[in-house]
Each structure stands twice: as C-alpha cells, then as structure tokens.
Amino acid sequence: MAGVLVVGGATRIAGSFGIPPYLIGATPVVLGTSMPELATTLVAVFRGHDDVGVGTLLGSNVFNALFEVGVAATITPIVISGAALWIALAAGVVVVACVWPGRQQVLGRARGVALILLSALTTALLTVFAG
C-alpha cells in the first residue's frame, strides 16, 4: 500500500514539473516498489535472522532481473541503451566487490554506506547518460 502511494504521488508531482519519465522510474518508483523488501529485511536482521534478510534481498533482485524482465521482454521488446547497459554492468561488478564476504564474513557499515552511495551514483549516471 505504501508503495502505491509513493509511486502515485511522486509520479504526479514529478510529471507536473516536467521531470523525465526515466527519472521518475529510477527514483520514486524504485523506492516505492522496494519498500516491502526493505521492511522484510530490516525486521529479519533486527530479529537476528541475517540469512533471511540477505536471502530476501538477493532473491527479490534475482527475480526482478531475470523473471520480470524476461516476462516483459517476452511480451514486448525492451529497448536498452548501450550507456545504460554499461553503467548497470559496472555497478553490478562494484556491488559484488562490496558484498563479497571477507575473512570476518560481515557486511559492516562502511560497505553499507558504499552500497548506498553506489546506488545514488548509479542513478545519477543513468539519468545523465541514459535517461
């Protein structure tokens, strides 16, 4: 429900200011549709079930990247710019490096901050070069 409100409200506000559709999809829509996974992950981690939290995030992202895009592409072709593809692939490599377990098998604050900053940077780059 919160996702519907965030997406609908942000889309109407952004549209009235002439903000490009890509930017609307890359920010409020992503935030709105990611809220359930974030809530599930936070609850799981706070209750000491880190594996459930990580599994939720990895599972939902793999599902989104493979199944949802696969279904959409099966129904109608999806046009992807070369810039968007390279930016997304580069971000993916950095994500793997950030979450790769070290000797301590812990994903700490520094890596968490790095992932948040990478998310913002990726969104900015996609908006500028592929939007």
pLDDT at res. 86: 92
Cα–Cα distance list, 123 to 23, 31, 43 (Å): 8, 12, 26
pLDDT in tens, 68-124: 889 989 999 988 888 888 998 999 899 888 888 777 777 788 888 999 999 889 888
Q: Report d(CA 23, CA 30) in Å as an integer.
A: 10
**Residue 25 in this model has a pLDDT that exceeds 90:** no
Per residue in 28-75, pLDDT (tens digit) is 677 777 888 888 888 988 999 888 888 887 888 788 888 988 998 999
pLDDT at 118: 92
Given a cut of 80, whether residue 2 has pLDDT beyond it is no
Whether the predicted pLDDT of 4 surpasses 70: no
Residue 27, pLDDT above cutoff 80: no
Mean pLDDT of 12-28: 72
- Neighbouring C-beta atoms of residue 62, cutoff 10 Å: 10
Cα dist from 122 to 4, 8, 107, 115, 116, whole Å: 24, 23, 20, 10, 10
What DSSP designation does 127 have? H
**72 CB contacts (<8 Å, ≥6 apart)?**
78
Retrieve residue 37's tokens: 């996974």
Query: Has this prediction a pTM greater than 0.75?
Result: no
- What are the structural domain ranges in the chain? 1-78, 79-131
CA 126 to chain centre: 13
Contact 39/52 with Cβ under 8 angstroms?
A: no
